[in-house]
Chain A
């Protein structure tokens, strides 16, 4: 059965800290892994990773995929209170399928 597991479930840090969120996956014929940020409403897209070892970066956020060990990490440096959200990871099985398997998310709270 395809599955995605995120850890930790929740995390509380202070502004300025660096955090690492983890996502491990088991999917049939893996194609891509996606990260989303969910504040109060709609999840918003952060990164899509398809190649192992290539870091994607956007400002203070970065992510990398390890296809051999079947996991991805999302790093946030110099955290701000605006980073407080639930971070979702999703894996997509092989091409030609439109299904995405989501993890349960990591709830991050950044204290001022």
Chain B
């Protein structure tokens, strides 16, 4: 009963390095999301994919790219990491817009 799986769980990068965060769900959900969570800021939407083959920007997309590889997988890429991108990143999925989101356990990313 895996649900939403994120890898890696922790990562430390140097400024300027690139990194891809992976997310996979096994619930046959159509929609997938990437959020970042910072102290005092709550969860902020980076990108989402309403269905396979589509992606859209959220509230804070700058510095990130995404790929909806197939229905199960949605990856988030940092092309040139910056210290401001130090955060906890959560992936989520939902079957449709009338259902709640299911979250992964998060990736804690530190950029030095």
> In the assembled complex, which residues on chain A have CB atoms less than 8 Å from the CB atom of B101?
34, 45, 100
Q: In this assembly, does B102 line the interface, its C-beta being within 8 Å of a C-beta of chain A?
A: yes
* A interface bracket (residues with beta carbon within 8 Å of B): 20 to 34
Q: In this assembly, does B112 line the interface, its C-beta being within 8 Å of a C-beta of chain A?
A: no
- Contact assessment for A45 and B105 in the assembled complex, using a CB-CB cutoff below 8 Å: no
- Evaluate whether A41 and B100 lie within 8 angstroms (CB atoms) in the complex, with A88-B43, A104-B40, A105-B42 already known: no
Q: In this assembly, does B90 line the interface, its C-beta being within 8 Å of a C-beta of chain A?
A: yes
- Evaluate whether A45 and B44 lie within 8 angstroms (CB atoms) in the complex, with A98-B94, A98-B97, A99-B58 already known: no
Complex Cα distance, B33 from A88, in Å, reads: 17
Interface residues of chain A, those whose CB is within 8 Å of chain B, are: 4, 31-32, 34, 36, 41-45, 48, 88, 90, 92, 95-100, 102-105
The 3 A-B pairs with the shortest beta carbon distances in the complex, nearest first, are A42-B103, A104-B42, A102-B43
Name 21 interchain pairs, CB-CB below 8 A, sorted by A. A32-B98, A34-B101, A41-B105, A42-B90, A42-B103, A42-B104, A45-B100, A48-B99, A88-B42, A90-B43, A98-B33, A98-B48, A98-B94, A99-B45, A99-B48, A99-B58, A102-B43, A102-B44, A104-B40, A104-B41, A104-B42
